[in-house]
Amino acid sequence: MKVTVVGAGAVGASCAEYIAIKNFASEVVVLDIKEGFAEGKAMDLMQTASLNGFDTKIVGVTDDYSKTAGSDIAVITSGIPRKPGMTREELIGINAGIVKTVSSNLIKHSPNVILIVVSNPMDTMAYLVHKSTGLPKNRIIGMGGALDSARFKYRLAEALEAPISDVDGMVIGGHSDTGMVPLTRHATRNSVKVSEFLSEDRLSQVAEDTKVGGATLTKLLGTSAWYAPGAAVSSLVQAIACDQKKMFPCSVMLDGEYGLKDICIGVPVILGRNGIEKIVAIDLDDAEKAKMQESAVGVRATNGLLDV
């Protein structure tokens, strides 16, 4: 199993590290445009192999796509991150061109690759990859919901004063400060609805803290987060590589599901060796449906800025 990670920055390196530590891939190629940067990150990571006990070979390259040839899965993290006070949508001007070029280069050398899009604004970048490459929709996956759901579980556990392993929950909708839809009504602690333990106000606070999870970290760090994003991407890569048939919310092209068409937005999917193996329909109430539609309006507005 060969995996390419484009972008050796904070998220790309974290993602390569988690993939290697989980030890399911034979090779991870890390590619960056900055001379020597990916080579340096790969060498540093390889020097953790004997300490962390993995056999995955990590190779760094400067803009040489021939080294990515035959990749089964490729992750696109290339592009600029936001700074405090910015929205993800403000990154579109620079990141759209980068994501378009990178995806085309990847496909030239790995025609059967499954692409995982991470660069922001992620739902719109996934949409751009669909429009510019024409790859079948099972092979283009936007990563956002897996991270947002991990943050939701963190906030739920905090509110419940419970271990995170007791908690389950999911965030669907757009990966934006206002567009996320944390499914508080469906969240559970050991199969018991969290509304049995938390007041409506506390649950609303959990949902709001989840939605601004990325902005909160950006304010603290001066740039956006990388550990949880890298871990979330590595979980999607593992689900595909190991044909796990696991369910994650991912940004995928919809064709009528959830009442939406011609848009990439976060919905639950089953991930396996073919990429997106199924879009899962869940029973949303009227309020949840309305939030999902509102979220789609926001994603469409950003898509409208693309030149496709």
Ligand X SMILES: O=C(O)C[C@H](O)C(=O)O
Ligand Y SMILES: NC(=O)c1ccc[n+]([C@@H]2O[C@H](COP(=O)([O-])OP(=O)(O)OC[C@H]3O[C@@H](n4cnc5c(N)ncnc54)[C@H](O)[C@@H]3O)[C@@H](O)[C@H]2O)c1
Contacting positions for ligand Y (CB under 6 A): 6-12, 31-34, 37, 77-82, 91, 95, 98, 101-102, 118-120, 122, 143-144, 147, 175, 223-226, 229
**Cβ proximity of 124 and 87 under 8 Å:** no
Residue 185, phi then psi, degrees to nearest 5 = -65, -25
Find which of ligand Y, ligand X, none residue 87 binds, CB within 5 to 8 Å per kind: none
* Tokens describing residue 200: 């409506």
Shortest spacing between CB 199 and ligand Y, in angstroms: 30
Find which of ligand X, ligand Y, none residue 218 binds, CB within 5 to 8 Å per kind: ligand X
Could you give the CA distance from residue 159 to residue 205 in angstroms, rounded to a whole number?
A: 9
Could you give the CA distance from residue 262 to residue 255 in angstroms, rounded to a whole number?
A: 6
88 is a contact residue toward ligand X (CB under 6 A) = yes
103 labeled binding residue? no
Site string for ligand X, 135-154 (x = CB under 6 A): ------------x-------
**Cβ proximity of 173 and 179 under 8 Å:** yes
- Residue closer to ligand X, measured from CB, 16 or 147: 147
* Tokens describing residue 271: 């991930």
Q: Which of 169, 229, 249, 272 binds ligand X (CB under 6 A)?
A: 229
For the chain, the maximum distance between any two Cα atoms, rounded to a whole number of angstroms, is: 56
82 labeled binding residue? yes
Residue 120, phi then psi, degrees to nearest 5 = -95, 155
- Residue closer to ligand Y, measured from CB, 145 or 203: 145
CA 1 to chain CA centroid, nearest Å: 20
88 labeled binding residue? yes
202 labeled binding residue? no
218 is a contact residue toward ligand X (CB under 6 A) = yes
- Residue closer to ligand X, measured from CB, 82 or 139: 82
Shortest spacing between CB 170 and ligand X, in angstroms: 16
11 labeled binding residue? yes
Catalytic site positions: 175
Find which of ligand Y, ligand X, none residue 33 binds, CB within 5 to 8 Å per kind: ligand Y
300 labeled binding residue? no
> Per DSSP, what are the bridge partners of residue 141?
116
DSSP result, 191-211: TEEGGGTS-HHHHHHHHHHHH
* Tokens describing residue 297: 């309006």
- Residue 255, number of CB atoms within 10 A of its CB: 11
Q: Where are the beta strands (DSSP E) in 16-142?
A: 27-32, 57-62, 73-76, 114-117, 140-142
Of residues 263 through 302, those in contact with ligand X by CB under 6 A are none
12 labeled binding residue? yes
Alpha helices (runs of H) in 112-185, residue ranges in sequence order: 122-133, 145-160
- The residue sitting closest to ligand X, measured at its beta carbon, is 214
- Residue closer to ligand Y, measured from CB, 95 or 303: 95
- Residue closer to ligand Y, measured from CB, 94 or 297: 94
Could you give the CA distance from residue 174 to residue 186 in angstroms, rounded to a whole number?
A: 18
Binding site members: 7-12, 32, 82, 88, 95, 118-120, 151
Which residues of the chain form contacts with ligand X (CB under 6 A)?
A: 81-82, 88, 120, 147, 175, 214, 217-218, 224-225, 229
Binding site members for substrate: 82, 88, 120, 151
